[in-house]
Amino acid sequence: MSTIFTKIIEGEIPSYKVAENDAFYAFLDINPNAKGHTLVVPKKEENKIFDLDEKSYLNLMQFSYRVAKAIEKTVPCERIGMTVIGLEVPHVHVHLIPLHTMDDATFSKKEKLSTEEFQTIANEIAKNLCLT
């Protein structure tokens, strides 16, 4: 059965997309630690990040780097944090989180955003993106 992230990538479930290429898809986390919290996902389903082959892992890091740069340009913050967990959704994803305080990195404090706020921030990150 497809993961929820595959359903998002295939457009069966809506998402606030910020970036896409042939191998990766980036979209806003629906329950963000902070405004601009983004997930970067390989289109090919794999459960655990270190089960990726080395080239796919490095490509994921490169794509995440580019998305992080765009988030940094868009969202005022101390820095962009990066973490990989995967205990909730068994489909590799990198969390890119604009950090203001340590709380933003803990996954205990959540930000409530309206549909309009999600859409606006996704559009702004997408505008600041340079994929090459």
The answer to the question of residue 89 lying near ligand AMP (CB under 6 A) is: yes
HEC readout, 60-75: HHHHHHHHHHHHHHHC
The answer to the question of residue 85 lying near ligand AMP (CB under 6 A) is: yes
User: Binding-site residue total for ligand AMP (CB under 6 A)?
Assistant: 12
Q: Say if CB 86 and CB 40 are below 8 A apart.
A: no
The answer to the question of residue 86 lying near ligand AMP (CB under 6 A) is: yes
Q: How far is the CB of 132 from ligand AMP (least distance, A)?
A: 26
- 93: annotated active-site residue: yes
d(CA 49, CA 113): 29
Q: How far is the CB of 108 from ligand AMP (least distance, A)?
A: 12
Footprint (CB under 6 A) of ligand AMP, residues 29-68 = 29-31, 39
User: CB within 8 A of 125, min separation 6: which ones?
Assistant: 18, 19, 36, 38, 67, 70, 71, 74, 75
The structure tokens listed for 77 are 């913050």
Question: Which residue in the list 37, 93, 95, 100 is annotated as catalytic?
Answer: 93
List contacts with ligand AMP (CB under 6 A).
4, 13, 15, 29-31, 39, 85-89
Question: Which are the catalytic amino acids?
Answer: 93
